[in-house]
């Protein structure tokens, strides 16, 4: 495949950026010509942010799986689409060619059909990182069902809430998943999530760990049996092909839940055409993808990074995508480097938290690893500190691989601000410049564009985007008003990201972190209100307040201040009970790193908790806590500060 839209020099980037702003419709129409459409669009773009309503390529008909699979078959059917590396390095690798991917996705689409799934139905996917997860996602897309992948670290309660919100009717899961030295019993978590559920009709279970599972008659079916049956059916019809559903450009492709500043996660909805164009365009340009490159994105498909840069973007570009089942530190901290050498990986895309954690093992695990296939390195998910950036550059990239620092969000569908590898300059800690079509600006709390510069020549403000790019979220599932108030109401006619940023005089951006009540723990997004709700569920808790604090490896840690009713009880036991409660309600990823029992919280006379003060205490600040005179009980501040853990 060739990519006429590939940017190969700084001048070309500047030219493309300029054109994308002068005439967005002409610009994106030209990019969209490089995809396979059943019918082309009537209109490239119509939008207003006040509702919000955004439509790209409306009137067009397509199926994203024809772009990710079928269009590659004639010339590269035997090329690996997915190379799968199992958790246990002793186990056999699986190489899935585009031909094989086509067959499996068609079979699974038939399985979905046999089980009653129709276009527009919601299918929840709760699986480990096995190739079948990719088949499940693409099988849904082929039949036009809306997939909603839930990360394997979420608890039964979290799944139940998401199933209910999405009104899902089908689940695809595994008996269990391997992650490092642990086996995670996924099916039994699903069974717990389904207690009292009234909408789920079928659960399809893939066998991975051979963990004993209970299969409920009439509801639960085995993946393997269903796939064999589907294969027979399709073969009887002469050929293995499941005709792809014809989708409207703006039909929803998937829902992915993410945390916000309220207690309830939001179902971010992405639609077919815009998401496809953007993930492919950004994959090719940010990573400077060259045909034949082996791309390894270490994310889990339970998060947006895996959706966009393991599955849809690379496959639509006809690339080879490495999918890894395990974790970077098992059986030892050299695992990523072994995978890079084993498959001669050219592009490695990972998170700062993984880099910091591996850095903590020193250079021993890198001994004897070649890493000479690497051409490009990438990071995503959180700000990268300079120390980690330089370690990555020197020890992994051997100072010859450009590092792309890619800023984006679940809601943006793909990368919005990043240098282009080897094409535009990188700068440690800076995501640098916006992609063509992206118009970021910084506003103050009143919504005025920030003009003032500090002594370094930097502007500082809340990061907003002025106009839609093709893969902007379209709605939050079942509650469009929530989408409006969350993203489009803070500043009229702007999309508000929730992040703060700096901009230098050359236009480069540095993302400084969230300015709302959302934490970023090991690259996972967690709402403080969600964690508080979970802690407050514990019988012994009267009230709690959760804030983030800087953490060497995780980026941010979770600090909980808890008022406990059982003041004479065993604090250590209560602490463990609270951790267990959070694990049950959300999942282990949301467990507080620190819990401090307090007698009161700093509240204003109107009852609002002054988190600013708690944040400072959690960060270790004992003086300069700001104005505390407006507090109902100013004395509580000194008491909390003294008891810091």
Taking CB under 6 A as the rule, which mask of x and - marks residues 324-363 in contact with ligand PRX? Answer: ----------------------------------------
Q: How far is the CB of 382 from ligand PRX (least distance, A)?
A: 5
Identity of the residue, 24 or 381, whose beta carbon is nearer to ligand PRX in the bound complex: 381
Q: How far is the CB of 408 from ligand PRX (least distance, A)?
A: 4
Those residues whose C-beta lies under 8 Å from the C-beta of residue 230, and which sit 6 or more positions away, are 107, 108, 110, 111, 114
Q: How far is the CB of 467 from ligand PRX (least distance, A)?
A: 19
Q: How far is CA 487 from CA 165, 433, 526, in A?
A: 19, 22, 17
Query: Does 514 interact with ligand PRX (rule: CB under 6 A)?
Result: yes
Q: How far is the CB of 513 from ligand PRX (least distance, A)?
A: 6
Task: Select the residue interacting with ligand PRX from 65, 115, 258, 285 (CB under 6 A).
Answer: 258
**Three-state DSSP state, 573:** helix
Q: How far is CA 296 from CA 309, 311, 348, in A?
A: 9, 11, 5
**Three-state DSSP state, 158:** helix
Of 225-233, 331-339, 512-520, 565-573: span binding ligand PRX (CB under 6 A):
512-520
Residue nearest to ligand PRX (CB): 410
Of 102-110, 215-223, 328-336, 492-500: span binding ligand PRX (CB under 6 A):
492-500
Taking CB under 6 A as the rule, which mask of x and - marks residues 278-317 in contact with ligand PRX? Answer: -------------------------xxx------------
Identity of the residue, 395 or 410, whose beta carbon is nearer to ligand PRX in the bound complex: 410
Q: How far is the CB of 375 from ligand PRX (least distance, A)?
A: 20
Task: Select the residue interacting with ligand PRX from 347, 431, 547, 613 (CB under 6 A).
Answer: 431
Q: How far is the CB of 405 from ligand PRX (least distance, A)?
A: 5
Q: Show contacts with ligand PRX in window 370-429 (CB under 6 A).
A: 380-383, 405-410
Is 36:66 a contact under the CB 8 Å cutoff? yes
Identity of the residue, 252 or 334, whose beta carbon is nearer to ligand PRX in the bound complex: 252
Those residues whose C-beta lies under 8 Å from the C-beta of residue 253, and which sit 6 or more positions away, are 64, 141, 146, 147, 247, 270, 271, 272, 275, 276
Q: Report the C-alpha gap between 45 and 41 in whole angstroms.
A: 10
Identity of the residue, 135 or 287, whose beta carbon is nearer to ligand PRX in the bound complex: 287
Q: How far is the CB of 487 from ligand PRX (least distance, A)?
A: 11
How many CB atoms neighbour CB 359 within 10 A? 20
Q: What is the DSSP string of 77-123?
A: TTSEEEEEE-SSTTSPPEEEEHHHHHHHHHHHHHHHHHTT--TT-EE
Q: Which long-range contacts (CB under 8 A, 24 or more apart) does 451-458 make?
A: 453/505, 456/504, 457/504, 457/505, 458/502, 458/503, 458/504, 458/510
Q: How far is the CB of 549 from ligand PRX (least distance, A)?
A: 16
The residue count for binding ligand PRX (CB under 6 A) is 23
Tokens of 361: 């093992």
**Three-state DSSP state, 534:** helix
Provide the binding-site residues for ligand PRX, judged by CB under 6 A: 258, 303-305, 380-383, 405-410, 431, 497-499, 511, 513-514, 520, 525
């Amino acid at each position: 495949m060739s990519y006429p839209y590939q940017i190969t020099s700084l001048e070309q980037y500047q030219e493309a950026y300029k054109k994308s702003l002068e005439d967005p419709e002409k610009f994106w129409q030209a990019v969209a010509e490089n995809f396979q459409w059943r019918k082309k669009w009537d209109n490239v773009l119509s939008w207003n942010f006040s509702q919000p309503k955004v439509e790209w390529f409306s009137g067009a008909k397509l199926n994203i799986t024809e772009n990710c699979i079928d269009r590659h078959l004639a010339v590269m059917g035997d090329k690996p689409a997915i190379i799968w590396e199992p958790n246990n390095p002793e186990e056999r690798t699986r190489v899935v060619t585009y031909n094989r991917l086509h067959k499996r996705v068609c079979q699974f689409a038939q399985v979905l059909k046999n089980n009653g799934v129709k276009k527009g139905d919601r299918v929840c996917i709760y699986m480990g990182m096995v190739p079948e997860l990719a088949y499940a996602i693409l099988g849904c897309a082929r039949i036009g069902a809306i997939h909603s992948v839930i990360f394997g670290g979420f608890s039964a309660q979290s799944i139940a809430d998401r199933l209910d919100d999405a009104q899902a009717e089908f689940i695809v899961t595994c008996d269990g998943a391997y992650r490092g030295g642990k086996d995670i019993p996924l099916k039994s978590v699903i069974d717990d999530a389904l207690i009292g559920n009234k909408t789920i009709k079928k659960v399809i279970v893939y066998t991975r760990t051979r963990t004993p599972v209970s299969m409920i008659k009439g509801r639960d079916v085995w993946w393997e049996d269903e796939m064999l049956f589907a294969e027979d059916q399709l073969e009887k019809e002469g050929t293995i092909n499941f005709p792809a559903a014809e989708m409207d450009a703006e039909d929803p492709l998937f829902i992915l839940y993410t945390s916000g500043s309220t207690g309830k996660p939001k179902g971010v909805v992405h639609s077919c055409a815009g998401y496809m164009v953007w993930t492919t365009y950004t994959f090719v340009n940010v990573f400077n993808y060259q045909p034949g490159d082996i791309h390894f994105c270490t994310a889990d498909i339970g998060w947006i990074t895996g959706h966009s840069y393991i599955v849809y973007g690379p496959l639509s570009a006809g690339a080879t995508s490495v999918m890894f089942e395990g974790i970077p530190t098992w059986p030892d901290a050299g695992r990523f480097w072994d995978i890079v050498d084993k498959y001669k990986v050219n592009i490695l895309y990972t998170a700062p938290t993984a880099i910091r954690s591996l850095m903590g093992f020193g250079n021993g695990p890198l001994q004897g690893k070649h890493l000479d296939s690497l051409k490009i390195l990438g990071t995503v998910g959180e700000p990268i500190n300079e120390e980690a950036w330089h370690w990555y550059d020197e020890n992994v990239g051997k100072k010859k691989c450009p590092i792309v620092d890619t800023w984006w969000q679940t809601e943006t569908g793909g990368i919005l601000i990043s240098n282009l590898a080897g094409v535009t300059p990188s700068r440690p800690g800076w995501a640098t410049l916006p992609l063509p079509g992206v118009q970021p600006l910084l506003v103050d709390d009143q919504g005025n564009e920030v003009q003032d510069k500090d002594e370094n020549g930097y502007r500082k403000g809340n990061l907003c985007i002025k106009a839609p790019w093709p893969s902007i979220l379209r709605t939050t599932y079942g509650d469009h008003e929530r989408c409006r108030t969350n993203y489009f109401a803070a500043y009229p006619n702007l999309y508000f990201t929730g992040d703060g940023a700096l901009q230098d005089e050359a236009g480069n951006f540095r993302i400084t972190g969230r300015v709302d009540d959302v934490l970023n723990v090991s690259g996972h997004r967690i709402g403080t209100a969600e964690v508080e709700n979970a802690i407050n569920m514990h019988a012994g808790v009267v009230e709690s307040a959760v804030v983030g604090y800087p953490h060497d490896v995780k980026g941010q840690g979770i600090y909980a201040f808890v008022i406990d009713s059982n003041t004479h009880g065993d604090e250590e036991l209560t602490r463990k009970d609270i951790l267990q409660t959070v694990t049950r309600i959300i999942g282990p990823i949301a467990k507080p790193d620190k819990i401090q029992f307090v007698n009161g919280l700093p509240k204003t006379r109107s009852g609002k908790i002054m988190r600013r003060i708690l944040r400072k205490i959690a960060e270790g600040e004992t003086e300069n806590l700001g104005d505390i005179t407006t507090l109902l009980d100013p004395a509580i501040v000194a008491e909390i500060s003294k008891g810091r853990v």
